[in-house]
Chain A
């Protein structure tokens, strides 16, 4: 390992340590606010919460109690120690129906906004409504927390579409994910009551107490550092150093004799960027205001914003994994899952960082990379911002794919084959290495149930996880949750590969062309949203296939996980004894990792062999 790789990894490790240091207290806060425990935040925002709950028609539980006996005990303490249940607790079927309704309404609303933005307000650039296939894809993308963007926001979407359409979903979709995660945790912890909580109350609480305050704080830092936050129209500015293009389209100096056209002005896209960028990072969304995402100097202007945005990616998923331990009453369980996530994350990050610093002989031969010693950060600078550099770009690429975020601060398609392989694997594993807000924990628990099943049989016991028996019903649901993303990805990629329109959409031939296609299908099915640009994504077939993938890739596992939560919630917990297999031991975590990697390898290996692997070994023999 070269010194630069080492330095980049130390920096990445420090970043993860910082995130963990924040995620730990955040996990306790999450449990408190989601479970209705009294906290300082609730004292402050409690009235807002009650109004919001009443607006969505669930009303706080304690209010109902108080109104039933209006004057009997005038000074009764308001907050019971066990936490106040908002709304009536739902069984899993009602909870799932609520998720589906919520998603459907959000989808229809967003579709209408995107198609009708031409006649809607806050459209200073006068963008027309999007065609149906693009709007379908974009709406599916944002309600599923994927944030795949078939079109660049700054050149096709009005401020209204961005701020009222997309940004609202950027809050609501992670909130729905968090609600699902808490339903699962409540199902595991429930003493046989069969209920998993109230979806609408969960969404209100997740938005009000978690997503809004955190996003506000990060947005303020962004504004301070220079990210635009305005409804004013785009600015046209004079270039300090005009550039020109020659007849072949190459950029040349303005005074070059070959110049056929000189550019002296640039359009700076403004708009409510800071607010959207902060929630894009925190809510595992990933959809940037600008097409260049966080590689753009507007979205990510300084080293501080780069650091904070990078740290914001895994914050909520990590906090939810740690909250798992608190919710099931054994923090070691959360730490064990966290350890599994960190091992996978470390392996993937090290791979990307090392590959990007090493670059490839082919890149060097093509002149894109200088492999000699410059006395500073070298490696594959193609497609990377000079101000950000290889190390931080590679770290971001690993984090944004391990976590189902999908934002980027460099261009993925210019990375080395191995450098794209690791992100592709991270997404293809399903949302397990942190994953999306809520859905990541759900995916991880699905794999854990599978591991418990196999491990228990091997020690001669009927499987049980955290005191709950794992029967055929639980196994069916855990299995669906685990294999659904893989099946959706394979199905989508198969359709794209077989359809002539799919083949036509890829930018290049050879293994890289296939990688583009595979990456798009994987990113959509895995609800990630990042892309190997080059694929012409905005064609009807690709829009429909990827849109369908995003919806199925999110809703099928959510349905399975909620059914799992429901059947676990009905089971009485058994006490742990000497013969109970520990699910917090290093051995168990090791087995969990092996099973995650094995399932991933078995589903992805053939496809990877034709894409990044073929590219990596091309010319090697």
Chain B
């Protein structure tokens, strides 16, 4: 047995504590039923009984098993989180912290070696004693004592303890990478940071609490579902008790004793109560959270995960999510009278020294299209002209030739200054490219315009299909970009987005979120910078990048440890899958009752009216075997569904009606059919081994 399972078995027994049971009303009723039947068994030993002792004992055992199976499901779901929490706790230990006072900090800014200066005057305290707002110094090889906002310095930090990512990341004061997480380790240099969370409230603490599910609150949908389950439980309690009354009435009329005993009625009640979903409900919620954690996303509340399933507007940053980070050369468009090969050749020469991804892509395109090999510029006579903000051009001078490439207006000024002509055809080409969302780079040699390089955003492969799926699920995708509206529209159209926000400022983002929310939408977004914080706080699902600032992380309700811009899509899927799993298992659980009725009702009532044997359509061997088969099925189905509850139901995108039809077919019809087969099989098995 795996340790995880072993631990869950132990926990299942520990959860027999009534205080644990009280959290789940449906299972509390099963628990009470198990105690009641056990008491009935004790009475039967004393000679007071309504059924054979063996039968009562069997029912009692199965009822206890039902309770334990429910506990086991929850423990198993919690187990994954506990293992993760243990690993995190191992990294969380008290270390010595170098406490710096404000005066020293001010003086350090002037010092030649601030780290050495501060180390001189710092006090050593235990990290647990650090208070919010205090400043500490952390140097290479030391563990960061508390969460903080970097105020001075830059260093590479190993964050693998939190993110699992072994490559070190750079953390520095100012900008969007100024958040420092307690428990990580500084690899080189030093940092001075101001404590942003005290011991017990740190990011690591929150993370441990979340993965352990200690801070898990029931979400609105979970509470609504629980209300429905409680109502059904009450109805079945009333049905079971009423059946006793009806049986006693009917028996009295026939002058017989009431064939319905308390044991059987309790068993009937447990059979009918929605125990399957009741037992698995909390496991499903915990498992959903675990799946999110497994995707390296940390939610501050279960509500956020569920809200992710409801989101219908996604604000996605263009760069990194929709397009690859950089633009790439896509075509050479020669001016009149210029061969495309000549343009490519000149463009490649001008770009050889350009180490930017755009520059590299020009070299590569020329090689691909015309087989022009890369040349080295080491030879004499080659002078590289680097890009400057003044000229806004780059290029190369060789053998008295000048090759330049740059933005259209810059090249135009350059050409016209040298007495060259600015061909209207080239101007038109440049405009067309810009209108199509691309960036035109004009190439000129010796004052003559050769043509235009078309640089374009490269849409990530597969992202279009991704958006189509989201669209089918009713989710609007909105691209957020700093580009001008023309460019933005072209990219949005190419990637299949529903809408875009061009020339986006943080204020524009916030405004857009408010507008969507006012229309009744739920909005999700990703952000990392401090200036994203207001928008993050406004969004319904706000995913902060772990690489982002403390302000961004505090404003969001999830942190993506991988800092991946496409994570939002995955988060939405996990949220939806969580809801689907809950709905599908509820349907399955309720649909099961039909078969149970056909097993139990004839078993209970045939002694009164033999004609009711026609309802025994499964031809179960005897009333006792029918009853036992039904409640054994009821217990075992919990165990059988644990893997599904933990894994979640199969998720796919599609129109809601298609999804509903599919899930109804699987879990509705399946829920009707499975128990008929299973109860019959259990009955035959019991007859075969001679139990009943």
Contacts and interface: CB of A to CB of B under 8 A. Distances in A.
Interface of A: 450, 453-463, 467, 470-472, 474-476, 479-480, 482-483, 486-487, 490-491, 493-494, 497-498, 502-503, 506, 509-511, 513-514, 517-518, 572-575, 577-582, 585, 587-588, 591, 594, 598, 601-603, 605-607, 609-610, 613-614, 617-621
Contacts of B657: 581-582, 585, 587
B218 to A, nearest CB: 9
B611 A610 contact: no
Contacts of B663: 458-459
Given A450-B228, A506-B253, A579-B475, 19 more contacts: A457-B225, A457-B586, A460-B577, A460-B578, A472-B220, A472-B227, A475-B225, A490-B235, A494-B241, A518-B246, A575-B520, A582-B656, A582-B657, A607-B246, A609-B612, A610-B243, A614-B611, A617-B609, A618-B609
Nearest to B610: A621
Nearest to B223: A472
Given A457-B221, A457-B225, A606-B601, A483 B239 contact: no
Given A458-B664, A475-B227, A614 B249 contact: no
Given A458-B659, A578-B655, A620-B611, A483 B231 contact: yes
Given A458-B660, A462-B579, A610-B608, A577 B519 contact: no
Contact of B309 (A461, A475, A491, A575): A461
Contacts of B225: 453, 457, 475
Interface stretch (B13-21, B290-298, B392-400, B590-598): B590-598
B6 to A, nearest CB: 33
Interface residues of B, number: 79
A457 B231 contact: no
Contact of B661 (A502, A578, A587, A606): A587
B656 A581 contact: yes
Nearest to A581: B656
A468 B330 CA distance: 48
A459 B246 contact: no
A66 B24 CA distance: 59
Contacts of B577: 460
Contact of B246 (A463, A487, A606, A613): A606
B43 interface: no
B275 interface: no
Given A503-B252, A574-B520, A602-B272, A460 B580 contact: yes
B108 interface: no
Nearest to B658: A459
B56 to A, nearest CB: 21
B248 A479 contact: no
27 contacts: A454-B587, A457-B579, A457-B580, A457-B582, A458-B587, A458-B663, A459-B660, A460-B576, A460-B659, A462-B221, A483-B232, A494-B238, A498-B248, A498-B249, A511-B609, A513-B253, A514-B253, A574-B521, A578-B655, A581-B657, A591-B664, A605-B601, A606-B604, A609-B615, A610-B605, A610-B608, A613-B615
A479 B231 contact: yes
Nearest to A573: B520
A509 B235 contact: no
Contacts of A587: 657, 660-661, 664
A593 B239 CA distance: 22
Interface in B647-674: 651, 655-657, 659-661, 663-664, 667-668
* Residue among A490, A493, A575 facing the most chain B CB atoms (10 A cut-off): A490
Nearest to A620: B611
B221 A607 contact: no
A617 B612 contact: yes
A614 B221 contact: no
Contacts of A613: 612, 615
B579 A491 contact: no
B619 to A, nearest CB: 13
Nearest to A455: B660
* Residue among A577, A579, A582, A601 facing the most chain B CB atoms (10 A cut-off): A579
Contact of B238 (A490, A503, A506): A490
A587 B661 CA distance: 7
Contact of A476 (B227, B306, B614): B227
Contact of A483 (B235, B519, B668): B235
B220 A579 contact: no
B80 interface: no
